[in-house]
Amino acid sequence: MDDGDTDDVRLSPSERLALLRIEATLGRDRRFARAMRGKPAGPWLIVSVLLLAAASVFLAVMGIRTSDPVVVWCFAALWPLTLFQTFRLLRRLSRRAGRRPRRL
């Protein structure tokens, strides 16, 4: 029997039940399901980091030039979100790089 040929495999009712339970448990795990699909998250994280960084730089420069407290507070509110999204992007990129086999 070939490894890919599953037509000749017979499972007992208890084995079928165990397999269904395992599939149901794995189906509820969203992170696992997303990883199994192999579909990348898309360019939205990269776009959001670039837009947040551009807005943060703009607000920082305008805050320095005008000394307007509203602009400074907007920068203070936006900067942590920019750092958080950047951290998520770097973490995702480092995970992908860790999965690739190294070439000699």
The per-residue pLDDT string of the chain (104 residues; one tens digit each, 9 = 90 and over) reads 445 556 678 889 998 898 888 888 887 887 777 676 655 556 888 999 999 999 999 999 999 999 999 999 999 999 999 999 999 999 888 877 776 655 55
29 and 55 housed in the same domain: no
The answer as to whether 93 is a domain residue is yes
pLDDT given for residue 95 in this prediction: 79
81 and 104 housed in the same domain: yes
pTM: 0.57
26 and 48 housed in the same domain: no
Q: How many domains does the chain have?
A: 2
Mean confidence (pLDDT) of the chain: 83
| Residues counted in the chain | 104
Q: How far apart are CA 9 and CA 39, in angstroms?
A: 31
103 and 54 housed in the same domain: yes
28 and 54 housed in the same domain: no
16 and 55 housed in the same domain: no
What DSSP line would sit under 17-69, residue for residue?
Answer: HHHHHHHHHHHH-HHHHHHHHT----THHHHHHHHHHHHHHHHHHHHHHH--H
- Domain boundaries, position 31: 8-39
